[in-house]
Structure 1
Amino acid sequence: MTTHRADFELNRPGALIAALPAVLGFVPENSLILVSLDGGEMGSVLRVDLSEEVTDRLVHLAAIAAAAEPEAAIAVIVDAEGAHCPGCNEEHRLLCAALADALAQHDIQLWAAHVVDRVALGGRWHCVDRCGAGGPIDDPSASPLAAAAVLDGRRLYARRADLQAVIALDAARGAGLADALRRQAAKREAAQRDDPVGCARRDVRRALAVAKRVAAGETPSGTQLAALGCALRDAQVRDTLYALAVGERAGDAESLWALLARSLPEPWRVEALVLLAFSAYVRGDGPLAGVSLDAALRCDPQHRMAGMLDQALQSGLRPERIRELAVTGYRLAKRLGVRLPPQRSFGRRAG
């Protein structure tokens, strides 16, 4: 998850910590957060749970941070109980020392490490080595990055669980669609044998129509969801639909992908998750892209597009570079004889 703000004051820990919810998309709790620094700006922001296994994950965390070749990094430990526990401070210090060693293997300096009780107005931070520095947290809702997130149309969640709920599978609904998916798969296989191009064309047009109805508040039938779930497993259909992320009706499509991700059982839901991740990444919503890719890779660890997007996201590749992938979708749509919504222009806000 990455942001780029030349005017952001990295030398003010209270402001840096207050900006974390806007970057992560939720208010972090019980977390170790690594903020990379690139040219004096905030680069990639990585988070792991503060658990007994956190030390084992430091080498991997450092390797991910190193992908963008940052100059330095800042660590933030969010620990409501441990922040004011004298006995816990040594644990925090040892954790940051181990993190510094892991980063040093990639020539990255751990510039500072802070401990905070809560990322909220009224929270307080102090340096991990008890150097005497510390102070209050700025109001996260007044952070420049929070304002940028709102302008970009991103929703900020109170907890990570609230963000994950956007894609949480409705197991009962998924089980109820299993028979419909099998029927639709057989039906589509027969249609594809007879007229593969015509079949793909119909599927893309169906996706556009259903997305429009979902945006209007309608709920698709189980048959419609199953038909789309089967269609997304066709590479020609799926690659065409990636273009919708940069079109004028991108929000409609994203709502449909989220609905499919919550409704379809495995393995059908993986393609909806990746389409949702791509759409979120394109508009600069790293948090939603991240949880969607996590879920997709749990469904299929070998999924090529999910793996590529995950690597790009974690290495801090800017959204505008990812948008270039959507051009292929417009070329495919032209071959199929389908007119997609026109491409929209993108501003340059935090992303």
Structure 2
Amino acid sequence: MTTYSPDFELNHPAALIAALPAVLGFVPENSLVLVSLGDGELGAVMRVDLSDDLIDRVDHLVEIAAAAAPEAMIAVIVDADGAHCPQCNSEYRQLCAVLSKALAQNDIELWAAHVVDRVAVGGRWHCVDGCGSGGAVDDPSASPLAAAAVLQGRRLYPRRADLQAVIAPDDLSRSAAVVAAASQHAARRAVAHREDPLACGRRDVEDAMAAAARVARGQSVSDAEVAALGCALRDVQVRDTLYALAVSEKAGEAETLWALLARTLPAPWRVEALVLLAFSAYVRGDGPLAGVSLEAALRCEPDHRMAGMLDTALQSGLRPEQIRELAITGYRMAKRLGVRLPPRRASGRCAG
């Protein structure tokens, strides 16, 4: 789920549907998209895959959506094969009836429900209840939200799989080499940490910032360096300090490093890189990247505290500015370690 305020009329379905790629970060396919409304503006937006058991999961979806306390919701069903199929539309009317009832129990109105074959130029939409309204989808690339996304430095992806590729492991043979290097480094680091925990943590944070600067310049990091960073991120004081980089002037450099580590480190080391990436993306308003990163992190470690907290905040539509203060803990930790972090800044650039 992600949250944005648009610059268009919510009662114009063609424009609303065209804005979905900019909100979600990718072009939705085979999806149910729930758009929450409050004070006449677009609020939290949630997407789930269409599936045979979707109607049985409506109560859970509404529970998540209701956490943001919207006044109303709009449902958009994206189905290239079923949008113009009478039998499918009957099933979608049933789905929306169940959805409307569940929302009403939470004092939320289902304001409208639309079916669209594809969210692209040439796509066609119509209302689920057969009211007769319908037409062509507006050009998604011309949506005001698409322009806003570009100005914010967010990248829009053709499909969700392309977004997921930002964090997908990209070299399994290298991951195996990193595992071997990490085992060796962990033993050495344990000795150094016992001798002087503060010096060990300070060195790890400084090494991470130096690696981020090199990666941002297009330089590579060795397997040994990746392994060392993975081990360092498992240290709570190091990890909590590095969260501060998300609100610093070097946020873009750090986020690029977290994305690289998420693709390179194997479990369990990649979990912390994924959560750092998620936090950085969330802080700068990139809910889609934060969402896929948290999803991957929670698959690796379902009980991860920070991942769970961020996921709950994201699902509830909590705005980025409301979580940025979490990074202040990192600056306090840095002071304790004797590390000088970059000055604070409101946002960073996209991950690469």
Provide the residue aligned with 1:67 in structure 2: 67
CA–CA distance in structure 2, aligned partners of residues 110 and 123 of structure 1: 23
Provide the residue aligned with 2:139 in structure 1: 139
Pairs within 5 Å for 1:226-305: 226-305=227-306
Pairs within 5 Å for 1:16-35: 16-35=16-35
Provide the residue aligned with 2:201 in structure 1: 200
Which residue identity is paired with 2:130?
A: R
Is the contact between residue 283 and residue 347 of structure 2 (CA under 8 Å) also seen in structure 1? no
Provide the residue aligned with 1:337 in structure 2: 338
| Identical pairs, percent | 75
Worse overlay, 121-130 or 154-163: 121-130
CA–CA distance in structure 2, aligned partners of residues 327 and 194 of structure 1: 28
Pairs within 5 Å for 1:8-157: 8-157=8-157
Which residue identity is paired with 1:162?
A: D
Provide the residue aligned with 2:165 in structure 1: 165
Worse overlay, 173-182 or 221-230: 173-182
RMSD: 1.2
Provide the residue aligned with 2:2 in structure 1: 2
Deviation at 1:107, TM superposition (A): 1.5
CA–CA distance in structure 2, aligned partners of residues 77 and 238 of structure 1: 40
Size of the aligned set, in residue pairs, is 347
Deviation at 1:100, TM superposition (A): 1.2
Q: Mind listing any 5+ residue stretches in structure 2 that lack a counterpart?
A: none
Deviation at 1:60, TM superposition (A): 1.2
CA–CA distance in structure 1, aligned partners of residues 60 and 266 of structure 2: 30
Provide the residue aligned with 1:182 in structure 2: 183
Deviation at 1:4, TM superposition (A): 3.5
Which residue identity is paired with 1:335?
A: R
CA–CA distance in structure 1, aligned partners of residues 119 and 258 of structure 2: 31
Deviation per CA, 1:236-290, whole angstroms, max 9, x where unpaired?
A: 0000000000111111100100111111111110000000000000000000000
Deviation per CA, 1:179-215, whole angstroms, max 9, x where unpaired?
A: 1111111111000000000000000000000000000
CA–CA distance in structure 2, aligned partners of residues 160 and 53 of structure 1: 21
Provide TM-score, normalisation by structure 2. Answer: 0.97
- Per the alignment, do residues 293 and 346 of structure 1 end up closer, same or farther by CA in structure 2, a change over 3 Å counting? closer
Deviation per CA, 1:14-54, whole angstroms, max 9, x where unpaired?
A: 00000000000000000001001111111110011011121
CA–CA distance in structure 2, aligned partners of residues 302 and 242 of structure 1: 19
Is the contact between residue 15 and residue 138 of structure 1 (CA under 8 Å) also seen in structure 2? yes
Is the contact between residue 6 and residue 40 of structure 1 (CA under 8 Å) also seen in structure 2? no
Is the contact between residue 8 and residue 41 of structure 1 (CA under 8 Å) also seen in structure 2? no
Q: Which secondary structure state, in structure 2, belongs to the residue aligned with residue 47 of structure 1?
A: strand
Is the contact between residue 6 and residue 145 of structure 2 (CA under 8 Å) also seen in structure 1? no
Deviation at 1:6, TM superposition (A): 6.0
Is the contact between residue 246 and residue 347 of structure 2 (CA under 8 Å) also seen in structure 1? no
Worse overlay, 94-103 or 297-306: 94-103
Deviation per CA, 1:70-112, whole angstroms, max 9, x where unpaired?
A: 1110000000111111221101111111111221221211111
CA–CA distance in structure 2, aligned partners of residues 107 and 58 of structure 1: 15
Which residue identity is paired with 2:290?
A: A
Q: Mind listing any 5+ residue stretches in structure 1 that lack a counterpart?
A: none
Deviation at 1:339, TM superposition (A): 0.9
CA–CA distance in structure 1, aligned partners of residues 37 and 175 of structure 2: 43
Which residue identity is paired with 1:71?
A: E
CA–CA distance in structure 2, aligned partners of residues 337 and 4 of structure 1: 38
Which residue identity is paired with 2:162?
A: D
CA–CA distance in structure 1, aligned partners of residues 186 and 202 of structure 2: 16
Is the contact between residue 140 and residue 146 of structure 2 (CA under 8 Å) also seen in structure 1? yes
Q: Which secondary structure state, in structure 1, belongs to the residue aligned with residue 83 of structure 2?
A: helix
Is the contact between residue 240 and residue 330 of structure 1 (CA under 8 Å) also seen in structure 2? yes
- Per the alignment, do residues 54 and 173 of structure 1 end up closer, same or farther by CA in structure 2, a change over 3 Å counting? farther
Worse overlay, 274-283 or 81-90: 81-90
Worse overlay, 79-88 or 209-218: 79-88
Instruction: Find out whether 1:324 has 2:336 as its counterpart.
Output: no
